[in-house]
Amino acid sequence: MTAKKGKNIVLGVTASIAIYKSCELIRRLKECGFEVKVVMSSRAEELIRPVVFSSLSGNKVYRAGLFGDADKWEIEHISLAQGADLILIAPATANIIAKLSAGICDDLLTCTVCATKAPVLIAPAMNEGMYNNKVTQGNIEKLKSCGYKFIAPRRGVLACGKSGVGCLAEIEDIVQEAKRFL
C-alpha cells in the first residue's frame, strides 16, 4: 500500500525517552510521500532540539506556545488542525493522554487536537506501571470511545532497565497504521 502524495500529517511529539524514534518515524513518513509538520510539547524540547525535526521534516517545527510570531497573523492551532489529514502523536506520554481525555487545551498540541476533524492516532510510550495504571487505561478507553485510535506499545526493555509493556510500537507498524488512515 502506498501513500497518496500531498497528505498532511501533524506529528505530535511528547517527552518520552522514545522521542529519538520520532526521527526515524519522520524519515519513513517522508519516504511514503507524506508532508510532516511536527508539534513539540515543551518538555519534549528538553530531550531533543527542534532543529533536528525541522531538518528531517523540511518544515518549521511548531513549539508548545499558543502564540506565533508577532509579525505574522496565523492562528497556528487552527491552521494545523484544518490542514491535517491525520494527527499522529508518537511518542505519547501518560500526561498527553490524560490531558486529551480531560479536554485540557493548554498548549499548541492539545489545542490542535481539540480543533481538528482529522483522525487522531496515538502511540503510547511510557513505563509499564504508568501504562497499566487504572487511570491511564481509563483515559485510553475514554479517548477510544470518542473515536481516537491507538497503536499499542510493545514489550521490551524500558528506560528504567526492566522489561515490560510500554515501548513505542515499531516504527514500521506506526507507518502502516498511518497509511491505513490515509
**Could you please report the per-residue DSSP string of 59-89?**
SPPB-S-S---TTS---HHHHHHHH-SEEEE
Q: pLDDT at position 102, please?
A: 98
Indicate which residue of 23, 105, 160, 167 is catalytic. Answer: 160
Active-site residue 160, yes or no? yes
In a domain, 175, yes or no: yes
In a domain, 1, yes or no: no
In a domain, 146, yes or no: yes
Q: pLDDT at position 76, please?
A: 76
Whether omega before 124 lies within 30 degrees of 0, making that bond cis, reads no
Q: pLDDT at position 66, please?
A: 54
- For the stretch 69-115, pLDDT in tens is 544 545 677 889 889 999 999 999 999 999 999 999 999 999 999 99
Contact assessment for residue 87 and residue 52, using Cβ atoms and an 8 Å cutoff: no
Range of the domain at 152: 8-181
Query: Domain containing 139 — which CATH number?
Result: 3.40.50.1950
Task: Count structural domains, the chain.
Answer: 1
Higher-confidence position of 16 and 74: 16
In a domain, 84, yes or no: yes
Side-chain-side CA neighbours of residue 3 (13 Å): 23
In a domain, 31, yes or no: yes
Which residue bears the cell 481525555?
101
In a domain, 3, yes or no: no
